[in-house]
Amino acid sequence: MRPLTPLLALLAGALALPLTPLGATAAAAPDGTYIVQLKPFTREAPRSLAQDQAARYGGQVVGVYEHAFKGYTAQLSAAAAEQLKSNPNVLSVEPDAEVHTFAQTVPTGVRRIFGPSNPHLDIDGTDDVRVDTDVAVVDTGVDYTHPDLNVVARANCQTGLCVNNSGNDDNGHGSHVAGIIGAIDNGIGSVGVAPGARIHAVKVLNASGSGTLSAIAAGLDWVVARAATIEVINLSLGCSGCSSSAISNAITNATNAGIVVVVAAGNSHANTSGFFPANHPDVVTVSALTDNDGLPGGLGGNRLSCRSETDQDDTSAFYSNYGSTVEITAPGTCIYSTWRNGGYNTISGTSMASPHVAGAAGILTAGSRKPTSRAGALAVRSTLISSGNLNWTDDSGDGVKEPLLDVHDSAIY
C-alpha cells in the first residue's frame, strides 16, 4: 500500500491544469477525459500527434507525455474515444478515473494496547496532534522520506564512525519499527503508538539485518551526545551468548542521562537471560504477545493473518523469549507498519513488540516530562510496568506473568 506512483501523480497534476485546448476543432461536447497511449515506435512527436488527433476527433488536449510513456490526455466524446482506438498510431484509449490514497489502518497492536481509547492521542485519521517526543531507532536505518514518518535526523554508524545526514533503510526493519513508534495520524497507511513522534534514525545494521557491536557502540554514543533532545532509544536487535562491557556502559550512561532504553527480548523461545542487550539491568525488556483481533478476551482464534503457523489469541507469542528478565509484553505478531521505499508491511517478532513500548515511553516523556537523570528514566520504566494489565494468557511456561502494555489511561499517558 503506497502513495500515488510517479505516473499517477503526473496524471493527477495534469488533470489539475486548466482545460485549455492546444488546438482543437469544435465538435460534439466531450463526455469525459481519456488517457491516450501512443505506440512507442511512432515517429511523429507526441505533442504534434496529440494536437492533430484532438482536432480530428473534436477533442481538447489537456496534457502531453513524452517520458514515462508516449501519449496525452484529452477531453473527448465517448464516440470520438471509440473511433480513436482504431487509429494506427494509438495503442490504447482509456477513460480517466479517480484514485484515492489508501485509508489509514489502526494496527491491531495499537488497538490492543488501547491507543484509540486515550483522548490525548486523538487517533482519528487527522494530523492535528503529534506527540512531542524524540525517539532514536537504532536499527537498519529508517526511510527518512516516508510520508507517514516524522524523521528529523539520521546517521550511518555501520563502520563504527557515525556520518550525519547519511544512511537509509535498505532492509525495511528499521522503518517498520519507526512506524510502530510514531507513524503519523494522517489518514494514510498506519498509525503509531505515539503519532508523529520525532524519529532519529541511527543505522547500525546492513541490508540483511546484521551488524557489529562496534556499530552499535558508535550509534549509542551518537544518541547519548544528543541526550538533551532524545527521550527514548529502541533497540530491536541483539545476540545470544554475547556481551560487551563498552555497550553495557553506554546503555547505563544513556539511562543516567535520562534516556529510556527499550530492548526486544528475542525470538528464540528461550530464556532472555542469555541474550544481550535484553539482559541489561537498566533496559525495559519486552516480550511479544500474539493478538489476532486487536481486542482483549482471547476470542480471536488461532489463525495468523501473516504466517503459516497458528498461535492462540492473547497468549505469549510462540517465538518470543521469556523469563524473569522480561519486564513487560506487547503485541508483536502480524503487526502492520511502515516499510522502506514509502511502503507498508506486516511482520512479526519481539522487534515489533519493543517499539510499542518505546512509543509508550515517548508519550510518558513528552514535552515538559522529559527525564534528565537515571532516577527519571527508571521511573518511566516503573510506570510502563505498573500501568500494564494482566488480561492475557501467559503460556510461555516460565511461571512469571509480565504485564501487558496499556496506554488507555489519559491521567498517566
- The one catalytic residue in 77, 132, 134, 139 is 139
CB environment 260-294: b (16+ within 10 A), e (fewer)? bbbbbbbbeeebbebbbbbbbebbbbbbbbbbbbb
CA 399/CA 297 separation, integer angstroms: 21
- DSSP code string of 279-330: T-TTSEEEEEEE-SSSSSSS-S-SB-TT-SSB--TTEE-TT--BSTT--EEE
Place of cell 555497550: 247
277 upstream amide cis, omega within 30 of 0:
yes
- The one catalytic residue in 287, 320, 351, 354 is 351
Pairing mode, if any, of strands 284-290 and 275-276?
Answer: unpaired
CA 361/CA 256 separation, integer angstroms: 16
Count other C-beta atoms under 10 Å from residue 248's C-beta.
16
- Region class of 380: left (phi > 0), else alpha (psi between -120 and 50), else beta: alpha
280 catalytic? Reply is: no
173 catalytic? Reply is: yes
CA atoms within a 13 Å half-sphere pointing along the CA-CB vector of 86:
5
CA 124/CA 16 separation, integer angstroms: 29
CA 410/CA 408 separation, integer angstroms: 6
CA 272/CA 280 separation, integer angstroms: 10
Count other C-beta atoms under 10 Å from residue 32's C-beta.
12
Count other C-beta atoms under 10 Å from residue 67's C-beta.
9
CA 61/CA 84 separation, integer angstroms: 14
Q: Which residues pair with 199 in a beta bridge?
A: 135, 151
- Region class of 180: left (phi > 0), else alpha (psi between -120 and 50), else beta: alpha
139 catalytic? Reply is: yes
- The one catalytic residue in 173, 176, 200, 280 is 173
CA atoms within a 13 Å half-sphere pointing along the CA-CB vector of 68:
11
Residues assigned a catalytic role: 139, 173, 351
